[in-house]
Chains A and B, each alone.
Chain A
Amino acid sequence: MEVNVVLIYLAAIPFVIALLNILLPPVMQKILTLLGLIYLLRLTVLLYSGVAENFILFGETVFSVDRLGLFVFTFIQVLSFIIFIFSLQGLDKRIEKKFLILYPMTVSFCNGVVLSEHVFSFLIFWGLSGLALYLFCMLGLTKGTPQTAKKTFILIGGSDAFLILGMVSIWFLKPGSSWSLIDLHIPLTGELSVVAFICLVIAAFAKAGGFPFHTWVPDFSQDAPIESAAFLPASLDKLLGIYLLARIMTQLFEVTVTVNLVIITLGAMTVIFAVMMAMIQHSGRKLLGYHAVSQVGYMIMGVGSGGALAFAGGLFHMINHTIYKSNLFLTLGSVEKQTGTSDLENLGGLGKKMPVTFIMAMIGAFAISGIPPFNGFFSKWMIYQGLLELAGSMSKVQQVWLLVCLILAVFGSALTLASFLKFLHSIYLGKRPAKYDHIKETKPNQWLSTGLLSALCVVFGLFAVSIPLKRLIYPVTMELGYPLPDFLGDYNPQLLFLMFALAFIAGFIIYLFTKNVRYDQNYLGGMPALEKYRVAGTEFYNEIRNMKPLKAIFDAAGKKYFDIYDLGTRFTFSVSGLFQRGHPGQLQLYLLYIMAGVLIFILLVH
C-alpha cells in the first residue's frame, strides 16, 4: 500500500509543537516533543516507501524531496530524536522551558531547509535556522555567552547575505528559469557565475564550519548549553552546510578540476589547522568544538572532489561525524553534569566511577580518530581512495598538490587521535582527585542516548557497505549522476573484526589460565603516591606547542590573528576610528570639509 506523505506537515508539525510548548509546563513539553519526534521518524520511514506530496503555493513548487534531501532529512530526524532523549533529564532548570520551545522549532527550520526546492523558502528557512543558533547560544550560562552569541550571529548572518547575493546572481545567470534550485548546472565561465559560486560556498562553509569561517564553532561549544552544542554545530548545522555544498558541487554548477583542487585544499587546511588548535586546548568543550571544525575538512574534501567514491565518502563522513561528535559532546555533558566542570585540568580518573560513559566516550574517540572497524575509518578510507583515484588522471603538478592534501588529511587523523587520547586521559584516566570520590554514574536516559549513538558508530563501521552505503548513500550519488563507486583497496571490516576477536581470545585464554592476581595501591619512590603527583594531561603537547615555527603560529592564533570575526572587527573599528578622529567637534574643520566636498563635486561635474 502506498501512503501519501504531505511534505508541509514535516516542517509544520514540529513548529506547531514549539508553539504549543510555549503554553505547557516542562513535563508536558517533553512528552509532546518526544511524541512529535517519534511521529516524524515514522513519517521518514514512510517517505522511503510512499509518495511525497509536494507543497505548491501560487503555482510554484515550494517543498519537494529528492534522494539527497531525503537522506539529510532522515538524519536530522534520527539525531534530533537521540539528542532529545539525552535532554529529557538533567537540563538546567533555568533554561529548560526555553530550550524545550527552541528545540522543536529548530527541527522545523532545518526540515524546511532540506525540503525546499524554491529559492525563497530555502533562504527563509536557512536564515531562521541561523537565528535558532543564536537563540540557543543565548541560553548559555557562562560569562562569555552574549559575546559568543553576537559573534555567531554576525558570522552566520553575514554568510546569509552572501547566500542571498549568490542566489540572486544565479537568477541573473538563468533568467528564464523558475526559482527552482534543482538541476541548474551552470558552467563556471563568466565573472558572475564565479561570484555566485564563491558566495554560495562561503555560506556553506560558514554553516558547516569550514576554514576560514569556522571560528564561531569552538566559541559556541564553549558557551552554549552542551545539549545544543551536540544538537547544532555537531549535527544539524553540519548536515545543512554539507547539504548545500553537495547541491552546489553537483546540481547548481558545473565545476572544473582546478575548482575541485581549490576546494580540496581548503578542506585539507581546515583539517590541519583546526586539529592543531584542538590539541592545545585546556577546555574539553573547546577541544570538541575545534574537532567539529577539523572533521568538516574531510567532508569538504570528499564532497568537493568531484569523484564518485570521494563524494559518497564525504556524505558518509558527514553522517558519521554527526553520530560520533554528538556522542562525544553528550558524554562530556554527562561528566559536566556530575562534576560541574569541563576543564580538563580539574578532571581525571573518572573511568572507574563512570564506566559506561567512559566506554561510550572511548568508542566516540576511536571513531573520530579513524580506528578500524569504527565508522569514521570507513568514510575516511573512502575519501582517501577517491582522492587517489582522482590523482591518477591529473597532471604531475596537480598530482603532487593533491597528494600533499591527502597526506595532511591522513596525518590529521593521527593528530585527532593524539588530542583524543589527551581528552580521554584528562577526564577518565590518570590519578583521580579526591574530590571526585563520591561521583556516581549518570542518569539512564543519558546512557541510552550515548549508547544508541555508540551502537550506530559500531554498526555503521562493521556493516558499512550493506547498511548505510547501499541503502542510503548510493541511491543519492546515483541520482546525482555518479556511477556506482568502485573501491581501489581492500577492506573487509567484518572479517577483520572476527579475526581480531579470535586473536584476542587466543591471547586472553592464556591469561585466564595463568592469572594470579593481587591488588595493591600506587607507589612512588617507595611511598603511597600522593595526589599532588598527578599528570592532568593538559600539558601533553607542550613540546609541540613550543616548537620553533609552530610557537609563533600558536601565539598568533592565541591573539586571534586568524579569526575572521576578530579581523573584521578590528578592520571595522580602525576604519570607523579614522572617521571618529576626523570629527573632533571643531566647526572650522567641518567648514573645510564642506568646502573641499563642494570643490571635488565641481571638479567632477566639470
Chain B
Amino acid sequence: MNIEYVFFLLIFPGLLFTGILGLTVGWVDRKVSARFQFRVGPPFLQNFNDFFKLLGKETIIVKEGVHSLFIAAPFIAFAVIVLISTMIGVALFFNKGFGGDLFVIMYLLMVYSVMIILGGSSTGNVYSSIGAAREMKLLLADELAFIFVCMVPVVKADYQLSLEQILNWQSIEGAFIGSVSGVIAFIVGILCIQAKMTLPPFHIPEAETELVEGPFMEYSGPPLAFWKLNHFMLYVVLPFLLVLLFLGGFNLHGLGILWAVLKYFLIVVVMIIIKNTNPRIRIDTALNFFWKYAALLGFIALILAVLGV
C-alpha cells in the first residue's frame, strides 16, 4: 500500500480536511440561518466545541437493541463519507483516481442512509423506526433524479466514467454548466443533494417536532458526535461532487483560488437559502415532487445531453 494513499485519506483531502471544512461550513450555515431569523448566531468555534463536548458525554445504549450495530453504524457511515470525500477530493485537487468512479460514489452514498436506518432501527424505538422508513423513502425519492443528474456529465464526456476523465474533458471543452442540459441537471442536482442531506424542506426523517430526531433519537455521546460530524462533512462532499460534475472542478492557481471558493460557496449558499425559506413537506409530497417533476427534468436534461445541447 502506498503511503501517499494514507495521506490522502487521513489528512488531505480526506478525514482532517473534510472534517474541519465541514464543521466550519456548518458554522456558516448556522450563522446565516440565524441572520435569516434575526438572531445573532453562534461563535465561530461553536461546532468544534459541540463535537468535543459530546465526546465527553455518556453513551446510553438501549438494553434490548442490537448493541454492536447501534455503535458501529455511525462509524461505518463516517468511514464511508471519508472515503467518498477522498475520492472526490483526490480527483479535484490532484487529478488522480482513488480506486472508484462515479458509479462507486453513487452506490457508496447510499451506504450513509443505510447506516442511519440500520443504526436507528436497531434500538427498537418506534420513532426511530418511523424515521428510518422515511429516510429510505426519501432516498428512493431523490435517487431517481440523482441518477439522471449523474448520467448527464457521463453522456457529455462521451461515456467516460472516471472522475478525473470527466474533469479533463471539462478543462478542454469547457464546464458542463455552460450548456442547456448542464444547467437543468445542475439545478436538479442541487435539489437532490438538499434531500440527500435531509436539509429543510426535506428534513422529513428527523422531523424534530413530530419524530424527535427520528433515527438519531436514542443516540448520545460519541456516536451522536459522529452523526453530527457526518452531517457536516456532507456539506463538503456533496457540493464538491456537483463542482466536479458540472462546474469544471477547481483551478488552484492565482485567481483560480478565488473562483474555487466562489463556486463552492455558491452551492452552499443556495442550499442555505432553500433551507431557510421552506417549511417541511410530507413524505408523499416529496416522492411526488422528485419522481414526477425532478426526474422528468433530469430526463429532459439527459435527452438534451445526448443531442449535444
- Using a CB–CB cutoff of 8 Å, the interface residues on chain A facing chain B are 349, 351-352, 355, 358, 369-372, 377, 381, 384-385, 388-389, 391-392, 396, 399-400, 403-404, 406-407, 410-411, 413-415, 417-418, 421-422, 424-425, 428-432, 488-493, 495-496, 498-504, 506-508, 510-511, 514-522, 524, 529, 533-535, 537, 539-541, 543-544, 546-548
Q: Is the CB of A520 within 8 A of B62?
A: yes
Given A407-B302, A421-B114, A514-B56, 9 more contacts at CB 8 Å? A355-B68, A381-B104, A414-B139, A488-B162, A493-B99, A499-B5, A503-B10, A507-B75, A522-B62
Q: Is the CB of B222 within 8 A of A535?
A: no
Task: For the complex, give the distance between the alpha carbons of A490 and B99 in Å.
Answer: 6
Q: Is the CB of A518 within 8 A of B160?
A: no
Residue among A388, A500, A543 making CB contact with B137, cutoff 8 Å:
A543
Task: For the complex, give the distance between the alpha carbons of A489 and B104 in Å.
Answer: 9
Considering only CB atoms, which chain A residue lies closest to B1 in the complex? A498
What is the CB-to-nearest-CB distance from B96 to chain A, in angstroms, rounded to a whole number?
10
Task: For the complex, give the distance between the alpha carbons of A504 and B125 in Å.
Answer: 26
Instruction: Determine if B207 is an interface residue (Cβ-Cβ < 8 Å).
Output: no
18 A-B contact pairs sorted by A residue (CB < 8 Å): A349-B64, A351-B69, A355-B66, A370-B107, A388-B161, A391-B159, A400-B303, A410-B147, A411-B143, A421-B118, A425-B132, A488-B161, A501-B79, A503-B82, A519-B63, A522-B218, A535-B129, A547-B291
Task: For the complex, give the distance between the alpha carbons of A534 and B4 in Å.
Answer: 49
Q: Is the CB of A515 within 8 A of B222?
A: yes
Considering only CB atoms, which chain B residue lies closest to A399 in the complex? B306
Q: Is the CB of A537 within 8 A of B129?
A: yes
Q: Is the CB of A540 within 8 A of B59?
A: no
CB contacts (< 8 Å) of A425 on chain B: these are 117, 121, 129, 132
Binds A, one of B238-246, B247-255, B263-271, B281-289: B281-289
Q: Is the CB of A534 within 8 A of B126?
A: yes
What is the CB-to-nearest-CB distance from A316 to chain B, in angstroms, rounded to a whole number?
15
CB contacts (< 8 Å) of A524 on chain B: these are 125-126
What is the CB-to-nearest-CB distance from B162 to chain A, in angstroms, rounded to a whole number?
4
Given A425-B132, A503-B79: A489 and B118 within 8 A (CB)?
no
Given A371-B111, A429-B124: A424 and B104 within 8 A (CB)?
no
Instruction: Determine if B76 is an interface residue (Cβ-Cβ < 8 Å).
Output: yes
Instruction: Determine if B103 is an interface residue (Cβ-Cβ < 8 Å).
Output: yes
State the majority secondary structure of interface residues on B: helix
Q: Is the CB of B110 within 8 A of A371?
A: yes
CB contacts (< 8 Å) of B78 on chain A: these are 503-504, 507
Q: Is the CB of A491 within 8 A of B61?
A: no
What per-residue 1/0 map shows which CB atoms of B125-139 lie under 8 Å from chain A? 110011011001101
Q: Is the CB of A430 within 8 A of B306?
A: no
Residue among A500, A522, A540 making CB contact with B125, cutoff 8 Å:
A522
Residue among A413, A429, A496 making CB contact with B122, cutoff 8 Å:
A429
Given A385-B161, A514-B56: A499 and B306 within 8 A (CB)?
no
CB contacts (< 8 Å) of A511 on chain B: these are 71, 75, 222-223, 226
Q: Is the CB of A496 within 8 A of B126?
A: no
Task: For the complex, give the distance between the alpha carbons of A496 and B1 in Å.
Answer: 11
Total A-B pairs in contact (CB under 8 Å)? 252
Q: Is the CB of A496 within 8 A of B139?
A: no
CB contacts (< 8 Å) of A429 on chain B: these are 66, 69, 118, 121-122, 124, 129
CB contacts (< 8 Å) of B76 on chain A: these are 504
Residue among A351, A404, A535 making CB contact with B130, cutoff 8 Å:
A535
What is the CB-to-nearest-CB distance from A491 to chain B, in angstroms, rounded to a whole number?
5
Task: For the complex, give the distance between the alpha carbons of A514 and B224 in Å.
Answer: 12
Q: Is the CB of B124 within 8 A of A510?
A: no
What is the CB-to-nearest-CB distance from B158 to chain A, in angstroms, rounded to a whole number?
7
Task: For the complex, give the distance between the alpha carbons of A396 and B250 in Å.
Answer: 32
Residue among A495, A500, A534, A547 making CB contact with B79, cutoff 8 Å:
A500
What is the CB-to-nearest-CB distance from B79 to chain A, in angstroms, rounded to a whole number?
4
Instruction: Determine if B97 is an interface residue (Cβ-Cβ < 8 Å).
Output: yes
Q: Is the CB of A490 within 8 A of B60?
A: no
CB contacts (< 8 Å) of A351 on chain B: these are 66, 69, 122
CB contacts (< 8 Å) of B132 on chain A: these are 421, 425
What is the CB-to-nearest-CB distance from B257 to chain A, in angstroms, rounded to a whole number?
28
Considering only CB atoms, which chain A residue lies closest to B67 in the complex? A352
What per-residue 1/0 map shows which CB atoms of B78-104 lie under 8 Å from chain A? 111011001000000000011111111
CB contacts (< 8 Å) of A495 on chain B: these are 1, 5, 98-99
Q: Is the CB of A490 within 8 A of B306?
A: no
Task: For the complex, give the distance between the alpha carbons of A504 and B126 in Å.
Answer: 29
CB contacts (< 8 Å) of B283 on chain A: these are 543
Instruction: Determine if B123 is an interface residue (Cβ-Cβ < 8 Å).
Output: yes
CB contacts (< 8 Å) of A518 on chain B: these are 58-61
Q: Is the CB of A396 within 8 A of B106?
A: no
Q: Is the CB of A516 within 8 A of B58?
A: yes
Task: For the complex, give the distance between the alpha carbons of A400 and B299 in Å.
Answer: 9
CB contacts (< 8 Å) of A421 on chain B: these are 114, 117-118, 132, 136
Binds A, one of B148-156, B168-176, B183-191: B148-156
Task: For the complex, give the distance between the alpha carbons of A541 and B135 in Å.
Answer: 11
Instruction: Determine if B296 is an interface residue (Cβ-Cβ < 8 Å).
Output: no
Q: Is the CB of B15 within 8 A of A503?
A: yes
Q: Is the CB of B58 within 8 A of A521?
A: no
Among B14, B65, B80, B158, the most chain A Cβ lie within 10 Å of the Cβ of B65
Q: List residues of B (26-73) whose CB comes within 8 Å of A's CBs.
A: 55-69, 71
Residue among A349, A413, A492 making CB contact with B100, cutoff 8 Å:
A492
What is the CB-to-nearest-CB distance from B309 to chain A, in angstroms, rounded to a whole number?
11
Instruction: Determine if B144 is an interface residue (Cβ-Cβ < 8 Å).
Output: yes
CB contacts (< 8 Å) of A391 on chain B: these are 159
Task: For the complex, give the distance between the alpha carbons of A392 and B158 in Å.
Answer: 7
Task: For the complex, give the distance between the alpha carbons of A548 and B222 in Å.
Answer: 43
Q: Is the CB of B126 within 8 A of A535?
A: yes
What is the CB-to-nearest-CB distance from A545 to chain B, in angstroms, rounded to a whole number?
11
Q: Is the CB of A396 within 8 A of B307?
A: yes
Q: Is the CB of B133 within 8 A of A510?
A: no
Q: Is the CB of A514 within 8 A of B159?
A: no
Task: For the complex, give the distance between the alpha carbons of A490 and B91 in Å.
Answer: 12
What is the CB-to-nearest-CB distance from B40 to chain A, in angstroms, rounded to a whole number?
31
CB contacts (< 8 Å) of A492 on chain B: these are 99-100
